[in-house]
Structure 1
Amino acid sequence: MARPRTFEEERAVEAAMRTFWKAGYEATSTQNLCAATGLGRSSVYNTFACKHTLFERSLRHYMDLRNAALAELMEGDLPIREKIRTVLWWAVAPDPADPPGCLVVNTLVELAPHDPEIAELLRRDTGERVRVLRAAIEDARARGELGPGTDPLALAHFVGATVSGLRVAARGGADRATLELIANTALGAL
């Protein structure tokens, strides 16, 4: 019995996501995608139409995974400083099976300046992460965990920018000690 096409698509999107994450959009060839997904060239094109469509599906998949984890953490019962520490440590000590860096950050640099569709997708993604962080920070401020002068929107943007910076530093070869210094400095700003 053949596996359902949706299984193949999901598996292919996950494999393609990791390939794009590691090498970037431009440096990822159709041959790289075939090797990663186990699909032939015609199957890649029949299923996804083109490299750009597969990339967009991969990017959305990445965003969905990351945003779900962030929402789950921010909706939990931990104190806000522990929540933010956890988010920072996702960048300091990522899953060793993951490529270094961040597919979103890589795409912001590589494609957003000349691909309006991708730029809009990234803008909405950033807005969603800021919204989730801001809501958790507002709740923490209301519970007295943060001072009344805390600006939840500014702090949400700061956390997001710090995580992005950590991911860029990691992709650039920063060691664990350097990443911890950056994250601890950010935590000190809370």
Structure 2
Amino acid sequence: MSGRPREFNDIAVIEAAMDVFWSHGYEGASAQALVERTGLGRGSLYNAFGSKLGLYHEALEHYQQLGIQIQSRILCRPGPVKARLRELMLWGIDIDLDPVKRRGCMAQFAVLERSGTDPKVEQISRVYVARLEQVLCDLFAEGQASGELATCRPARTAARAFLSSYYGLRLLGRSMPERDFLIDTLEGILTSL
């Protein structure tokens, strides 16, 4: 005989937990905050996800799945390559400077907070970066083929350089949360392509 069926929606719980972890990080997210936000008791949370860490991993994977979908849609639209890259960076700036939440990128903070001690976070992050890198590599190859982007280095190398600049821009938004400053930085990145 199997156990009693779950009486909650896994995705809704994961999204609620994601909100807590995104706002407070893993260490700063209390069990009580997770219980209050998800509406489940501690026993139900732990039975469903094994532990706070198991729930965190599920939330991080979900966050990254949503993020890669949005970023891929931006980058795979028709139009000039630089316009799509600009739109991606503007999307990141808008999230990072959100006047209500100002949370930045959960994926980046997960790596900063947990990568040295949590191999699962490292693995989740590697998959995410590899997926975004591939979308960017395809876009850079397209831009090089059309003559819009320089061809002095391979598309993968150029995509990785851009990826580094993009992540740097996102982190910079935490210490310099000024839109004009970040837009100037964005324009410098695009000019270097």
Q: Same fold (TM over 0.5)?
A: yes
Aligned residue number for residue 119 of structure 2: 116
Instruction: Specify the code of the residue in structure 1 equivalent to 2:68.
Output: N
RMSD: 2.0
Distance 1:140 1:182 in 2: 21
Against the structure 1 CA distance between its residues 165 and 126, is the aligned structure 2 distance closer, same or farther, given a 3 Å change threshold?
same
Aligned residue number for residue 171 of structure 2: 168
Aligned residue number for residue 65 of structure 2: 64
Instruction: Specify the code of the residue in structure 1 equivalent to 2:59.
Output: S
Instruction: Specify the code of the residue in structure 2 equivalent to 1:172.
Output: S
Q: Is the 8 A contact 2:95 2:104 kept in 1?
A: no
Aligned residue number for residue 152 of structure 1: 155
Aligned residue number for residue 34 of structure 1: 35
Runs of 4+ in 1 over 4 A off after TM superposition: 4-7
Alignment of 1:90-105 (within 5 A): 90-94=91-95, 96=98, 99-105=102-108
Instruction: Specify the code of the residue in structure 1 equivalent to 2:169.
Output: L
Q: By how many angstroms is 1:150 displaced?
A: 4.2
Q: What TM-score does the superposition give when structure 2 sets the normalisation length?
A: 0.88
Instruction: Specify the code of the residue in structure 2 equivalent to 1:145.
Output: E
Distance 1:145 1:24 in 2: 40
| Residues 7-50 of structure 1, C-alpha deviations (whole Å, 9 max, x = no match) | 62111111111211111111111111112212121121122111
| Residues 52-102 of structure 1, C-alpha deviations (whole Å, 9 max, x = no match) | 111111111111111111222222212110110011101221283654211
Distance 2:166 2:107 in 1: 11
Instruction: Specify the code of the residue in structure 1 equivalent to 2:67.
Output: R
Q: By how many angstroms is 1:148 displaced?
A: 2.6
Name whichever of 178-187 and 144-153 sits farther off: 144-153
Q: Is the 8 A contact 1:17 1:62 kept in 2?
A: yes
Aligned residue number for residue 128 of structure 2: 125
Distance 1:90 1:105 in 2: 15
Q: How many residue pairs end up in the alignment?
A: 187
Any stretches of 5+ residues in structure 2 without a counterpart?
none
Aligned residue number for residue 184 of structure 1: 187
Q: What TM-score does the superposition give when structure 1 sets the normalisation length?
A: 0.89
Provide the secondary structure at the position in 2 that maps to 1:24. helix
Sequence identity percentage = 29
Against the structure 1 CA distance between its residues 102 and 50, is the aligned structure 2 distance closer, same or farther, given a 3 Å change threshold?
same
Any stretches of 5+ residues in structure 1 without a counterpart?
none
Q: Relative contact order (alpha carbons < 8 A, sep ≥ 6): 1 or 2 greater?
A: 1
Distance 2:107 2:7 in 1: 24
Distance 1:10 1:152 in 2: 37
Distance 2:178 2:7 in 1: 39
Aligned residue number for residue 53 of structure 2: 52
Aligned residue number for residue 16 of structure 2: 15
